[in-house]
Structure 1
Amino acid sequence: MEIFRPSTPELLIAILCFLVFLVHRFRKTRGELTKWPIVGMLPGLAVNLHRLHDLATEILVHNGCSYLFIGPWFSGMRLLITCDPANVNHVFNANFHNYPKGHEFSEIFDLLGDGIFNADDESWRSQRKKAQLLIAQPRFRGFAARCIRDKVDNSLLPLLQKVSEQGKIVDLQDIFLRLSFDITCSMVFGEDSASLNPNFTVVLFSKAMDDAMNVIMLRHAFPATWWKLMRRLNVGFEKRLAAARLVIDEFIAESISKRKQESYGAGAESAGGGGDSLLKAYIECAEAGDENATNKFLRDTTLSLMLAGRDTIGVALAWFFYLLCKNPNVEERLLKELRRGEAGEGVYLHAALCEALRLYPSVPFEAKGVAAEDTLPSGDTVKPGMQVLFSTYTMGRLEGVWGKDCREFLPERWITEQERLRHEPAYKFMSFNCGPRTCLGKELAFAELKATAAAVVKQFRMEIVEGHVVEPKLSIILQMRNGLKVRVKKRVNY
């Protein structure tokens, strides 16, 4: 009997058809990821990676707010993904000590060394106490306010004025990211990176930070053994991270050297003098015998602070103005408040910013390790070696938490009948984390958001370019994949 042996073209066509079938199946999956032998759920994740946050939302809503993701065999990749506020309260508050960042987290974010972002236990408590003290000092608060005001008034507004006069299409997200990068650089390092300029020049430190965060995001989606091998061989996306790290370390080393020289008197005549930056404050504390000022400690600490403040504000502003463009009624009410001169205490401005952060949190997920076996309020059991991943993006889209209008932009949900701001618990509104690790810079963040938003809305309105698609990008920070392309229009008779 003759045995059929397919020719090479037939075999290739068969393989291609099979792959097309698999991709189609994975892309159409709603509420479930197929668990395959050997590779686990990784294929379904891989083909949906471009829409990760919406995929998580579909799966979590379909599965009662919690879902166990299982990776390839022997990879140790077991993630409990959840958006249940009761689980958030349990992990971040009630049983906080059982859920450290963990070894796996610090390995993924190894770029940050031993800084506060990675630290646990006594190291974390010590670093947080010191950072909280320095950030709360009136000297630093005044310096931060000057940095914000100077950059908004002398860089951002003139740039938008010029763009509006020229009628150019610009990427508003890029502008806000440059703004927040410059402000954070000034506050943390005492350096004005001057990335917000009419020529939109590339700042190597900023680009390196972007490259590093993109790679760290990819590490979350691959088994640790895979990316660690790539890191050892210095290939693939790990090669990009290694190159980015060199640029980051060089910039920080130069900043530390400048601030130390100024502190020791050698640079007293230099321009700027580092202002009252956090780096300068840490060095002064070390001189007073309060802290170790090794270059590694200063490097890890300032890089963690830089990460916390740089892109989070920029993307929050981008999503805020995107939502204003889509909701002119909200913009009009905000203008009325600004015309009354209530921006400083503006209830509606604050409410609108909270609502934007609810729908588009700058950090779309949070991760925790597990120290000891525990049962969550949802009934899910977690064990050491697992990670618990919290989708803050999905939390803002839960009908059971925010109502049937949860996907609508309604600042009014944050305002009481007495026209006061409504408080929502952090385990429900997690944009600034929750519990003992609540963001230390929350007040500074709102100060920067309010000052920028009020100044821009007063003078300009934005028109999104017709046909421009706005959607989340695959990143640690919730950036827009295609930016926010707009035309800037000068307001008349504000």
Structure 2
Amino acid sequence: MELSASTLILAIVAFIVYKYRVHAIGTLPRRDLKQPRGAVPLLGHLPLLASIPSTQLQEFFERQSDELGPVWSISLPHIGRVIQSDSPEILEHVLKTNFWKYEKGILLVDGAEWKFQRKLVISMFSSTAVREYTDTFLAEGKKVLGHLGKAADEGSIIDLEILMRSYTFDTFGSVSFGKSFGSLDNIHEDPPFIVSFERSLGICSKRMLNPLWRIREWLTGDSKTVLRDQAMMRQYAIEIFENRRKEVSDAPKTDLLHLLLEAKDDDGNPVPEDTMVDMFLNLLAAGRESTAQSLTWLFYLILRGESGNAVTKQLTQELDEVLKGSEPTYETHRRLKYAEACFYEALRLYPALPRNLRLCITDDILPGGIKIHKGEWFAWSSYTIARSELVWGPDAKEFKPSRWINTSWNWPIPSNLRPMDIQ
């Protein structure tokens, strides 16, 4: 009996659908691992994750860890198998003991470029440099107070996240490149550079859960928008470099722009301009949301509910005792221990990078005998860890700044995930 072409094609499709009935195409079946309900043939957990609003993703991962246990997995057709664990023992294995078997995630810079950027940034944040930046922080901070005061006088609503984002952009521009972006001049209308930056980053962020993003962007015209925005941003960066080169000044400079222009590669050659532009945009992207979000969450946590009232009272008392009605300085801010603890506690509950990934580059066996194959991803959630009673005790979900002061706990997590002790 001779099979028709259509029958053969149907049989092949049926076989593929059956083979990948509970996991994404291109991934290995992992019956040894628990996984969230809702996986579909070929696409795995992509439809499930795509159906969850971005503002609820971290709560989703926290619920899965509560329901499925310390190790579970999802599969995505354009990313692969992702093994999730927030177990302190497994985290220490991946991030410390066997770290060489894992590469950094797709959103991070690796290798020589990472080392070069890190060296520059460390140089930028020496104690002498930070002392010089204090005036900039205060000057931009006064603009923030001006906006808050105006809103209070008018009884109007103000978006704290937009305000903190503008503050972050302007201070970053001033201390890094000697040029404020001017975001705080009018928080209701961003400068053209910021508009391009925000728009292109927003478009690119949607690519994570869409394996067909190239087609979508071609149909919507977003691909051309990203190219135009990138060209505008690169030109803006080049103009900053050129203007600095034209400056004639004997005053020593410690900002990132100066370090970039003076930097040499391993062979002693100047860093190419394209590389400097890439680093400019990378560093701007790294600092764009992290500080702004952290400051926004800090305000939210301090001001909410009954615990907020107690925190506000203690924080106000410390500010009165240390500052005595004067403006903060580099010296006095170091004595604001409770204020520092409030900031760390906000970072704990709402980390700037709530979830992270490492790519397994050679087969490994996790504690407990769980295999992770080359090409599979390992993921952990700092957001979930922050709410773990195993790590933080029965009050893990509470906003409790005092936990950071004079701590003497035996942390069951790797050193690079432990809190700092404020003495």
TM range (shorter): 0.7 to 0.9
1:296-324 deviations in whole A, cap 9, x for unaligned?
12112222222222321111110011011
- Alignment of 1:248 onto 2:233: yes
Match of 1:164 in 2: 152
Match of 2:62 among 37, 40, 57: 57
Structure 1 Cα separation of the partners of residues 302 and 356 of structure 2:
27
Note closer, same or farther for the CA distance 1:255–1:178 as it changes in structure 2 (3 Å cut): same
Alignment of 1:210-249 (within 5 A): 210-223=198-211, 226-230=212-216, 233=218, 235=220, 238-249=223-234
Show the counterpart of 1:201.
189
**Residues 94-493 of structure 1 aligned to structure 2 (within 5 Å):** 94-101=97-104, 105=106, 109=107, 117-120=108-111, 122-136=112-126, 138=128, 140-153=129-142, 155-198=143-186, 200-223=188-211, 226-230=212-216, 233=218, 235=220, 238-262=223-247, 265=248, 276-286=254-264, 290=268, 292-326=270-304, 327-341=308-322, 343-377=333-367, 379-416=369-406, 427=414, 430=417
How far apart are 1:203 and its partner, in Å? 1.9
Instruction: Read off the aligned partner of 1:242 and give its amino acid letter.
Output: L
SS in 1 for 2:110: coil
Distance in 2 (CA, whole Å) between partners of 1:219 and 1:314 is 23
The 2-side partners of 1:227 and 1:161 are apart by 43
Given the superposition, is the C-alpha separation of residues 67 and 209 from structure 1 closer, same or farther in structure 2, using an over 3 Å criterion?
farther
Whether the 8 Å CA contact 2:163–2:187 is kept in 1: the answer is no
* 8 Å Cα contact 2:103/2:360 also seen in 1: yes
Alpha-carbon offset, residue 70 of structure 1:
1.1
Task: Give the letter aligned to residue 371 of structure 2.
Answer: T
Give a deviation string over 1:442-491, Cα, whole Å, max 9, x none: 9xxx9xxxxxxxxxxxxxxxxxxxxxxxxxxxxxxxxxxxxxxxxxxxxx
**Does the CA-based 8 Å contact 1:370-1:383 persist in structure 2?**
yes
Query: Structure 1 pair 173/429, CA: closer, same or farther in 2 (3 Å)?
Result: farther
CA distance in 1, matches of 2:280, 2:263: 14
**1:23: which partner in 2?**
none
- By how many angstroms is 1:291 displaced? 5.3
Q: 1:340/1:67 Cα in 2 relative to 1: closer, same or farther (>3 Å)?
A: same
Q: 1:61 to 1:293 in 2, by over 3 A?
A: same
Match of 1:89 among 77, 84, 92: 92
Aligned residues: 374
Amino acid at match of 1:119: D
The change in CA–CA distance for 1:393 and 1:291 in structure 2 (over 3 A counts) is farther
Cα gap change, 1:230 to 1:147, in 2 (>3 Å): same
Output the TM-score relative to the length of structure 2.
Answer: 0.78
1:87 shift after superposition: 2.9
Q: CA deviation at 1:187?
A: 2.0
CA 1:215 to 1:380, structure 2 compared with 1: closer, same or farther past 3 Å? farther
Q: Kindly provide the amino acid, as one letter, of the partner of residue 48 in structure 1.
A: I
Quote the offset at 1:171 in angstroms. 0.7
Distance 2:381 2:103 in 1: 17
CA-to-aligned-CA distance 1:343-402 (integer Å, 9 cap, x gap) = 532222122111111111122122221211112235432222222222111111112222
Aligned residues with identical type, % of pairs: 25
Kindly state the Cα deviation for residue 191 of structure 1 after the two structures are TM-superposed.
Answer: 1.3
Measured at CA, do residues 384 and 199 of structure 1 come closer, stay the same or move farther in structure 2, by a change above 3 Å?
closer
Residue 79 of structure 1 corresponds to: 82
**What is the CA–CA distance in structure 1 between the aligned matches of 2:418 and 2:280, rounded to whole Å?**
22
Distance, in Å, in 2 between the alignment partners of 1:288 and 1:330 is 50
Question: Alpha-carbon deviations, 1:253-308, whole Å to 9, x = none?
Answer: 2212222232xx4xx59xxx996420122212349985532111211222222222
TM-score, structure 1 normalization: 0.68
- For 2:165, the aligned partner's letter is L
* Structure 1: gaps (5+ residues): 1-30, 110-116, 433-441, 447-494
* Contact 1:191-1:274 at 8 Å conserved across structures: no
Residues in 2 aligned to 1:92 and 1:396: alpha-carbon distance in whole angstroms: 17
Asked whether the equivalents of residues 319 and 356 of structure 1 are also in contact (C-alpha less than 8 Å), the reply is yes
RMSD of aligned alpha carbons: 3.2
For 2:180 and 2:127, locate their aligned partners in 1 and report how far apart those are by CA, in whole Å: 21
Q: What is the Cα deviation at residue 248 of structure 1?
A: 2.1
